[in-house]
Structure 1
Amino acid sequence: MDSIKNISLPKQLDFFVKYNQDTLMKDMHKFKLDTLPGTKYEYNGNAMTILILLLERIYHQPYELLVTNYLKNHLGLYDTRTKIPVNQLSRFIQGYKDASRPVQWYDLTNKKTNEINTNFFYPGGPSMNSTMADMLKYVIANVEETNPAIRLSHKETYHQTDGTGVGLGWMIGNDDGKRFVYHSGRTGIGFSTLCIAYPEDKMGIMILVNDNLSQDNISILSDKIKVALME
């Protein structure tokens, strides 16, 4: 997978059109562990891809339906999905490398809606599309922690030597003894993002900016917003 990251995004998408669930299952027989489970942290989206495979085969439904139905029924998110319908593409915000350079949009899912056991790989990990209104609902849900699945996702599964940790899809930090969860990312199609929830402070922040802003600068911006909100 490391060699795939060295080629352009369009070529990655072409590759993953051909690489499907059956290919992954076949390749997994060749995997060799080089360390004991739970002893070393390395960011990798393949585990989430395997989880999607398991969910589809256990529930006999496409991941798109599983995730959108859950988000609608449990969190009230009606505008969040892996696949953007053609009739909704006009709502998609143009991404930018910087203020003057728009970035071409690519469908990162490579998956036909409502089909199971088809191509399902996503560059960098599973891809979701949402609106800012839905994301704010999601932030609130992660701040309140009333949903059992959300509480479970905040549980630390790996503790790092610097005092931070990792949950189920979340990074876990500590600010003056108060726990917070966050995740950031760069899509490659013109956006850099940060989603952060402070359950003990009853506060959450969602940031969406151009792709040229570094993750470090987004974190600084988030810290300044937090300070301003607490004044």
Structure 2
Amino acid sequence: MAQNSKPENTTIKIVIDSAANRMIKKPLIHSTSIVLVYQGKEFIGHYGELEKGKNNCPDNETIYEIGSLSKTFAGTLAAKAVCEKKLNIEDEVQKYLPQNYPNLKYGKQPLLVKHLLSHTSGIPNMLPFEANTILQNFTNHDTPAKINQLFKNYGQKDFLRDLHKVKIDTVPGYKYSYSSAGTQLLAFILEKVYKTKYEELLTNFIAKDIAMQNTKISLSNQEAKRLAVGYHSDNNVITSPMPQLPWGASGNMKSTIPDMAKYIKFQLKNNKIAAESHKTIVKFDDEFSIGYLWNIATDDKKLGTFYIHHGGVPRSQCYIYIIPKYDLGAFIITNQSGTNTAKVMEDTLNEIFEKITQTGNNG
């Protein structure tokens, strides 16, 4: 029987091209960008057209909205604060708040920072509360406009006001309940810890530690011209960008494919900060745990333990995978956001991983 050998670079590119070209033939999907980092080498591909019939393929200059992948950056910043002994995840959230929030506890159990990092706080997904009702009908064509209108004048003071109305209905630390609002609150805490605005804190960290120069929350007018257009659900009219949320930590980051390659390499190198961010905070079952806002798939038969996050806004969806067993990482994005988009991307990446790991090895 032939011994396993590492796949050749040309083979990897063919595998990616083949899977991506199949993906853009799926209903509603007409473009994708993919970066794969495998054993230190990066493979970048752009496919299709951002606007059907315009022949405008995305490229390395294209800026994408990466949605909730923003949360992994917030988690990494929290890990940095822990490594620098500026933050203890066992701290009570109340310690950092400007007013008293007696509602942020269940019985005698107060909310702790680790509950925000692990989506076990019991804080609802979104503040204001109305956003949760709107998002229940995500595929409705008027949903993006409703969300934009809701957040048009909704700032940090409004968030902190609405936080008083939150009711914690279960013991924190056990039940997984996804909370973008919890990540926004984490950003507020990081501002207090570092005495620096979150956006500045984030931009400085990723520029200095990861050399990501094209990743940010707010774009200049020139940068905004490079922002990918996108489509929501089965609507063939271009959708407006994601509205600015308070702090922007839960879903407002934008990035390019070369910058996401740098982020993957940073996570795979697993230095002190990355390693801290990958630590398990809560284990929910034998297959699923959570770290510093990283979803952790544990002991997968093929890929081992790996770190994953999905990002979605009304006009794009993406995935990031960090797979230490094979020194492998991937980021995929498409400028379409509907009910089947995530599944299409998962299938595409699984096809790529299957073929690479069949011929590859893990050292």
CA distance in 1, matches of 2:164, 2:239: 37
What value does the CA root-mean-square deviation take over the aligned residues? 2.4
Superposed CA deviations along residues 125-156 of structure 1, whole A, max 9, x for unmatched, are: 3321000010111112112212x222111111
Superposed CA deviations along residues 100-135 of structure 1, whole A, max 9, x for unmatched, are: 93532325325xxxxxxxx5367xx33210000101
2:247 pairs with 1:120: yes
Choose which of 196, 204, 210 in structure 1 pairs with 2:321.
196
Partner of 2:304: 178
TM-score by structure 1 length? 0.84
After TM superposition, which residue ranges in structure 1, 4 or more long, deviate above 6 angstroms? none
CA distance in 2, matches of 1:26, 1:6: 19
Percent identity of paired positions between Structure 1 and Structure 2: 23
Choose which of 144, 148, 164 in structure 1 pairs with 2:288.
164
Superposed CA deviations along residues 16-52 of structure 1, whole A, max 9, x for unmatched, are: 3433323333333333321111110011111110111
* 8 A Cα contact 2:267 2:274, kept in partner: yes
The residue correspondences of 1:30-49 to structure 2 (distance < 5 A) are 30-49=165-184
Q: 1:18 aligns to what SS in structure 2?
A: coil
* 8 A Cα contact 2:147 2:243, kept in partner: no
* 8 A Cα contact 1:16 1:121, kept in partner: no
Q: 1:103 aligns to what SS in structure 2?
A: coil
Partner of 2:230: 95
Choose which of 130, 141, 149 in structure 1 pairs with 2:266.
141
Higher relative contact order (CA 8 A, sep 6+): 2
* 8 A Cα contact 1:170 1:183, kept in partner: yes
- Alignment coverage as a number of residue pairs: 219
* 8 A Cα contact 1:184 1:193, kept in partner: yes
Choose which of 214, 228, 233 in structure 2 pairs with 1:79.
214
TM-score by structure 2 length? 0.55
CA shift for structure 1 position 57: 3.2
CA distance in 2, matches of 1:106, 1:48: 20
CA shift for structure 1 position 69: 0.5
* 8 A Cα contact 1:181 1:196, kept in partner: yes
Q: 1:27 aligns to what SS in structure 2?
A: helix
2:193 pairs with 1:58: yes
More moved, 38-47 vs 173-182: 173-182
